[in-house]
Amino acid sequence: MPDPMKIRATLTGDTTEVKVLMNHEMETGQRKDAQGKVIPAWFIQNVSVTWNAKTVLSAQWGTAIAKNPFVSFKFKGGAKGDKITITWVDSRAEKRTDEATIA
């Protein structure tokens, strides 16, 4: 199972700011190992964030995203104590879901 994400969600006025750190190798498929063999691509493909069963962010990623990605975004709405759920799925169909509470 992949390592957990680190999520911070804070409410200012009527806007929630979400900051997420993900644990992922994000292999581009361009690198070679010590034996000269290509290291196969392996990266997060889909990211989705939901709040109150409503999708507030949906993203399709590729190999241009750095290792251990950091995502920061804002959405209108949210209240202190609300839960937000973040899920990523990578190119090996591995999946990780984490939850955070808006502070």
Residues near another protein (CB under 8 A) are 3-4, 6, 19, 21, 23, 25, 66-68, 70, 72
| 82 or 98: CB nearest another protein | 98
| 69 or 78: CB nearest another protein | 69
Length of the chain: 103
Nearest distance from C-beta of residue 20 to another protein, angstroms: 8
Q: State the residue for tokens 């949210």.
A: 78
Residue-wise over 32-69: b if at least 16 C-beta within 10 A, else e?
eeeeeeeeeebbbeebebbbeeeebbeeebeeebeeeb
Nearest distance from C-beta of residue 25 to another protein, angstroms: 5
